[in-house]
Amino acid sequence: MSGGVVKAAAWHLGVALALEELGFTLKNNESSPSDLEISTYVGSSAGSLIGLYFAQGFRPMDIIEATINKDNSKIRAINYKDMLSLKKPQGNPTSYYDPLEGFPKILKRILKPVLSLPGIFSTQGLHDYLIENVIKEKTFEELEADLFVVATQLDHSRKVIFSKYNYPNPSHDNTANYYTGIPLAESVTASMSVPPFYSPYPIKNPHTGQTDYYIDGEIRETLSTHVAFDHDCEFIISSWTHTPYHFHDEIGSLVNYGLPAICTQAIYLMIQKKIVANRARRELSADIINTVNDYLKTNKFEEKHRNQLTSILEKKLSYKPNVHMIDIFPRHEDYQLFFRNSFSLNSDKTSEMVSAGYKRTINIFKRHEWES
């Protein structure tokens, strides 16, 4: 599950609600095993929060009802007080870096107080919300489900995957590391620290004793589907909302909608490119392996040699042929979803995103789109 603040969280809930209706079960400490059990959750930012809800035993409707029927819900919904905490991590001011060097003095006086902030708000309120309302089991090891939370280390070119598994670095990225021994609340809070809206979140490294700062998990790589491959998942259902706007006559150009719409489009274009490139690499790997295999068959190579060479290619290309991937995201035709405010807790707007995610999931499974 991708990031994308409230908008993405609502979409993920709609997707999960549809999966339940289709017969899937969400594994947690109280669930019973089933043939259609989703036992692994990989999430970044808002996706890590939703994964935590599920792993802790909350069903999609529990979270949805919390925003609609607050008096009789199983859990308290997140509110703006949780989201907009002003408590910042303590830093040590330095004069080493001056982003306003050479600017006129009057601009420096105006901009310096803003640019010196590590973020507008802090995720400390979200951390406290998790401790008070969500967390039952405090560590990854206590969860029956396998939860992976992705974050980015601020002061390093390192992506960190918090979990209970100490896997080696992924073959496609030696700067990605699996970390164990970090509490659930700290891991998810770190993953949700989206700059510049939120300050980087500090976590004490149990191995070095130093404090590392973390930001949003999707800065380096969107979705991190490699985690599911590393964990030998058979089916990977990926949910995200970053579909760029495509021109529609009734809407016109985004240039007419100001900086927020233009910046959103720029971010979505970058994210979509990462996802497309990732899927293209998998398709290219499959094509290379199939082409080589066909050539060997045509030239009557022995089956054992063909199988051996295919196995070598699969390992070198990090390709697993028996994994099925199902991508669930808004279509370009659903352009109204692009304009949804990512930070809005308005129940009518979030309900629309839940409904959209639900309908899209039902349609994808009905048409078996992943098999095309």
Catalytic sites, residue numbers: 45, 216
Cα–Cα distance measured from residue 303 to residue 293, given in angstroms and rounded to the nearest whole number: 10
**Both structure tokens of 109:** 């006086």
The gap between the terminal CA atoms of the chain, to the nearest Å, is 22
Q: Give yes or no for a contact between 154 and 200, defined as CB atoms under 8 angstroms apart.
A: yes
3-state class of 32 per DSSP? coil
Cα–Cα distance measured from residue 39 to residue 31, given in angstroms and rounded to the nearest whole number: 10
Query: Which residues are 37's β-sheet partners?
Result: 25
DSSP for residue 254: G
**Both structure tokens of 341:** 């405010």
Cα–Cα distance measured from residue 372 to residue 366, given in angstroms and rounded to the nearest whole number: 13
Q: Is the dihedral of CA 105, 109, 110, 114 positive or negative?
A: positive
Q: Give yes or no for a contact between 116 and 182, defined as CB atoms under 8 angstroms apart.
A: no
Element (H, E) at 242: none
Number of C-beta neighbours around residue 36 at 10 A? 11
Amino acid type, 216: D
